[in-house]
């Protein structure tokens, strides 16, 4: 396994590489602290250049038949699959995802999403007759996309694929923490035959490039995935030009285990949904809600299962949990663990500090029991491998706890199928899995409350990138 070469990246604008000017941003491997690449610190002028390229390419791409646009997205999916190993190694290097996960979820999800959007074009209702009106669905224009580091390819493909099928062009800012995959994606789009300017990449920080994208008068929509704090700022800036804003933000998902659940299955799946990607998942379930009478039994199951989550170097095939994305983030997660101890939660597994023998940005998978549902660790998004087990007295109490945070992105319910479905309907979250149901690339994904607005995936995800015109005749 070889790491990506340590060399400066260039912006991708108008179908060609534009060298950075001035400062660069180091890209660090969180497993060992080594600088593996340098990304250009883009400026507002680079955003202007990319927007001009996207605006110039828009009329031609919007006029392309949807079937041809879908075919291009299908070729992008094929191109990503052809470079799967390179992408996996790159993601493992830039943000620490275990290589086994990088080879499956980190590449498998975006390929599945792109393929699903390509398939939607054929039966999508691009026009509809309603009385004497022709309802026309048209591309919104130039889309600004801003994504985080935890799933660096998945997050952008979830925006790029529907935007391309819709007929939009795009200016993309990847996370400065994990920007390397964007270069591969740009090359794949060119090989797939996208006209120059349809897809553009500007590297840089949120304070500079993200602000410029959000404020730009020639960008018609901003699609953002990231923290709720950053989402608020993007909304404020974008409001000055009254552009559409789609936000997929933070989460604090609850795994509600009912009295009639298969406890072993509920705990195993719940632990995976709390610890996967070292807990750095907005759709994680870091809260496990359990019947008070079975609290100790479930805690014992969780502790036994947690022992199977091997923490190690991300290039090792046996590693289940790699490092956190940075030393700064590791310290933040540690501070939450220490806060949980100080607030009186019962530490039953893990704790603060690095695992023995590991010197990078590693955290110990941690479980707290008897957690107060109003405590800091039960309310705030930790974004690390920390599970809080919260007892409830009855079903109404469980639903109240599940709905008690400012978030509403994902949740799970385990129990007798109809019983679990009834509880799932009461949860204020955009996605609820019943008894560990499999992921569906065609089902809409998005949040309630401060987990965001808008939806990704499926028909609703495509509609986010379209305008609606009514023609009376």
Give the integer Cα–Cα distance in Å for 253 and 407. Answer: 8
Residue 374 CA to chain centroid, in angstroms?
Answer: 26
Instruction: Give dist(CA 369, CA 390) in Å, integer.
Output: 7
| Nearby residues of 7 by Cβ (< 8 Å), 6 or more positions away | 37, 38
User: Catalytic pick from 38, 94, 176, 248?
Assistant: 248
Answer positive or negative: Cα dihedral of 217, 218, 223, 225. negative
* SS3 at position 247: strand
CA distance 328 to 332: 6
d(CA 152, CA 365): 23
Q: Helix and strand tally (H, E) in the chain?
A: 16, 20
Decide the pairing of beta strands 452-453 and 244-248: antiparallel
The rounded distance, in Å, linking the Cα atoms of 473 and 461 is 30
Q: Is 248 a catalytic residue?
A: yes
Distance CA 367, CA 336 (A): 12
Of 38, 94, 176, 282, the active-site residue reads 282
Q: Nearest Cα to 163, choosing from 199, 195, 191?
A: 199
Is there a catalytic annotation at residue 395?
A: no
Q: Which residues are tagged catalytic?
A: 248, 282
């Amino acid at each position: 396994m070889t790491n990506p070469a340590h060399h400066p990246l260039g912006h991708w604008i108008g179908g060609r590489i534009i060298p950075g000017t001035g400062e660069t941003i180091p890209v660090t491997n969180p497993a060992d602290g080594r600088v593996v690449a340098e990304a250009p610190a883009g400026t507002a002028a680079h955003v202007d250049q990319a927007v001009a390229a996207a605006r110039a390419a828009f009329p031609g791409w919007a006029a392309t038949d949807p079937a041809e646009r879908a075919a291009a997205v299908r070729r992008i999916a094929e191109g990503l699959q052809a470079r799967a190993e390179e992408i996996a190694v790159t993601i493992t290097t830039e943000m620490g995802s275990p290589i086994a996960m990088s080879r499956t979820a980190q590449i498998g999800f975006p390929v599945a999403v792109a393929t699903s959007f390509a398939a939607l074009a054929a039966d999508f209702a691009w026009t509809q007759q309603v009385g004497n009106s022709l309802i026309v669905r048209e591309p919104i224009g130039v889309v600004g996309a801003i994504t985080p580091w935890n799933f660096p390819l998945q997050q952008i493909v979830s925006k790029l694929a529907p935007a391309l099928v819709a007929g939009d062009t795009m200016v993309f800012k990847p996370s400065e923490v994990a920007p390397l995959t964007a270069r591969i994606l740009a090359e794949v789009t060119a090989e797939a035959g996208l006209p120059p300017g349809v897809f553009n990449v500007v590297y840089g920080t949120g304070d500079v490039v993200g602000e410029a994208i959000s404020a730009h008068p020639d960008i018609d929509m901003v699609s953002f995935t990231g923290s709720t704090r950053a989402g608020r700022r993007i909304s404020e800036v974008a409001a000055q030009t009254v552009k559409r804003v789609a936000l997929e933000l933070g989460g604090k998902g609850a795994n509600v285990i009912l009295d009639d659940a298969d406890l072993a299955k509920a705990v195993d799946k719940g632990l995976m949904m709390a610890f996967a990607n070292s807990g750095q998942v907005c759709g994680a379930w870091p809260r496990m809600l359990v019947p008070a009478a079975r609290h100790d039994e479930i805690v014992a199951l969780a502790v036994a299962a947690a022992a199977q989550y091997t923490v190690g170097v991300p290039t090792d095939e046996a590693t289940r949990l790699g490092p956190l994305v940075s030393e700064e983030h590791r310290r933040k997660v540690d501070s939450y663990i220490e806060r949980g101890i100080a607030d009186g939660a019962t530490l039953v597994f893990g704790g603060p500090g690095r695992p023995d023998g590991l010197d990078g940005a590693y955290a110990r998978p941690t479980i707290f029991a008897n957690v107060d549902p109003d405590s800091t660790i039960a309310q705030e998004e930790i974004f690390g491998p920390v599970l809080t087990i919260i007892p409830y007295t009855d079903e109404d109490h469980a639903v109240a706890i599940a709905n008690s945070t400012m978030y509403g992105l994902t949740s799970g319910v385990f129990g007798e199928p109809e019983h679990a479905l009834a509880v799932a309907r009461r949860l204020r979250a955009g996605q609820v899995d019943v008894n560990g149901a499999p992921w569906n690339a065609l089902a809409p994904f998005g949040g309630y409350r401060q987990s965001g607005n808008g939806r990704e995936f499926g028909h609703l995800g495509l509609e986010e990138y379209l305008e609606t015109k009514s023609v009376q005749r």
